[in-house]
């Protein structure tokens, strides 16, 4: 039987969020948080619009998911995010004790891997899913931005 | 001439915020952000009340200061915080490019020092100011909590 709710499906939803960020002139990063095959939070980067460095997609998604669940720990939840989380977001994910993180594109400069940010022992992380799509959107954004300046 | 607006003065203001957190049953951590001897943001930990792991004092203070300044970079600003920032908060401070961080108590387990979180090259950090007052408030909180459970 085909399971329509696989990692690909949810990462595509995160990519839709990244595209929404792109359309607003924001660095295109999107995220969704899922529990039992149900999306309980969707968010995209809004740092420019909100003038706030803390408004990364993941941060908003964590707040939103906790609000939905009525508790601050994201047990049995998976975060799908189109770019590897930074120190701040990985640090927030540490506190949330989220079960799983799936990201698309690597961030070799400011990602939590390069920065050696610690994840919670309960958290598993994998990367590279739909990496090409996520990276191309980011590249397209920075090329467009360079041409406008 | 006496300068009433020294580091001690502002850390005492951060301690007042920590006491406000204590009174709400929150882990007592407080923060203020200062520019040109003027407090532009005050905040205290609200993770329990908001059911949100991202609601640390520093995170709220960063958002609030950026809102006051109308820009997301906290140039020429100093954060006074009663506990050494964690990975998440240090990661947010990295993005904010804040000029200076002054903290009171060390967090040998989850502080950004122990966790080796990277600060922005523009940021200077010092610790230990009014450490005794900040630590005693934290100890009092955890003793009280233990006795209630």
Q: Do A88 and B88 touch (CB under 8 A)?
A: yes
| Residue A27 falls inside a structural domain | yes
**Averaged pLDDT, A22-42:** 98
| Residue A1 falls inside a structural domain | no
**Averaged pLDDT, A14-33:** 98
Q: Are B95 and A88 in contact (CB under 8 A)?
A: yes
**Tens digits of per-residue pLDDT, A75-130?**
999 999 999 999 999 999 999 999 999 999 999 999 999 999 999 999 999 999 99
Does an H or E element contain B137, and which?
Answer: helix B131-148
**3-state class percentages of chain B: helix first, strand second, coil last, to nearest 5:** 40, 20, 40
Interface with chain B: mutation pick from A45, A72, A91, highest number of B CBs within 10 Å: A91
CA angle A80, A128, A19 (to 5 degrees): 55
pLDDT of residue B139: 97
User: In the predicted model, is pLDDT for residue A35 greater than 80?
Assistant: yes
CB contacts < 8 Å between A and B, how many?
88
pLDDT of residue A103: 98
Domain count, chain A: 1
| Residue A2 falls inside a structural domain | no
pLDDT of residue A2: 72
Q: Is B48 a catalytic residue?
A: no
The model's pTM is 0.96
User: CATH number, domain at A34?
Assistant: 3.40.140.10
Q: Do A87 and B86 touch (CB under 8 A)?
A: no
Maximum CA extent, chain A: 51
Query: Where are the strands (E) in B3-121, listed by range?
Result: 30-35, 38-44, 77-83, 100-105
Q: In whole angstroms, what separates CA B139 from the centre of its chain?
A: 17
Enumerate the known binding-site residues of A for Zn(2+).
Answer: 56, 86, 89
A5: confidence class by pLDDT, cuts 50, 70, 90: confident
Give start and end residues of each alpha helix (H) in A24-109: 57-69, 87-96
Nearest to B53 among A87, A90, A92 (CB): A92
Helix (H, G, I), strand (E, B) or coil at B31: strand
pLDDT of residue B37: 96
pLDDT of residue B3: 78
Please state at what angle helix A7-23 crosses helix A57-69, rounded to 10 degrees: 120
| Residue A40 falls inside a structural domain | yes
pLDDT of residue B5: 85
Q: Do A53 and B92 touch (CB under 8 A)?
A: yes
ipTM: 0.95
| Residue A84 falls inside a structural domain | yes
Please state at what angle helix B57-69 crosses helix B87-96, rounded to 10 degrees: 20
Q: Are B70 and B24 in contact (CB under 8 A)?
A: no
**Alpha-carbon radius of gyration of chain A:** 14
A73: confidence class by pLDDT, cuts 50, 70, 90: very high
Helix (H, G, I), strand (E, B) or coil at B120: coil
| Residue B96, both tokens | 């904010």
| Residue B149 falls inside a structural domain | no
Give residue A76's domain range.
7-144
Task: Print pLDDT tens along chain B (149 aa).
Answer: 677 789 999 999 999 999 999 999 999 999 999 999 999 999 999 999 999 999 999 999 999 999 999 999 999 999 999 999 999 999 999 999 999 999 999 999 999 999 999 999 999 999 999 999 999 999 999 999 888 87
| Residue A149 falls inside a structural domain | no
User: In the predicted model, is pLDDT for residue A149 greater than 80?
Assistant: no
pLDDT of residue A4: 79
| Residue B25 falls inside a structural domain | yes
């Amino acid at each position: 039987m085909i399971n329509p709710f696989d990692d690909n499906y949810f990462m595509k939803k995160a990519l839709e969020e990244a595209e929404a960020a792109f359309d607003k002139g924001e660095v295109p990063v999107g995220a969704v948080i899922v529990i039992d095959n149900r999306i309980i939070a969707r968010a995209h980067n809004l740092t420019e619009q909100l003038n706030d460095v803390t408004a990364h997609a993941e941060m908003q998604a964590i707040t939103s998911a906790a609000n939905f669940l009525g508790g601050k720990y994201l047990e049995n939840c998976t975060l799908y995010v189109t770019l590897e989380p930074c120190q701040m977001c990985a640090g927030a994910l540490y506190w949330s004790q989220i079960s799983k993180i799936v990201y698309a594109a690597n961030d070799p400069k400011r990602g939590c891997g390069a920065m050696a940010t610690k994840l919670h022992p309960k958290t598993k992380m994998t990367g590279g899913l739909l990496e090409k799509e996520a990276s191309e959107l980011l590249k397209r954004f920075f090329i467009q931005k360079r041409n406008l300046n």
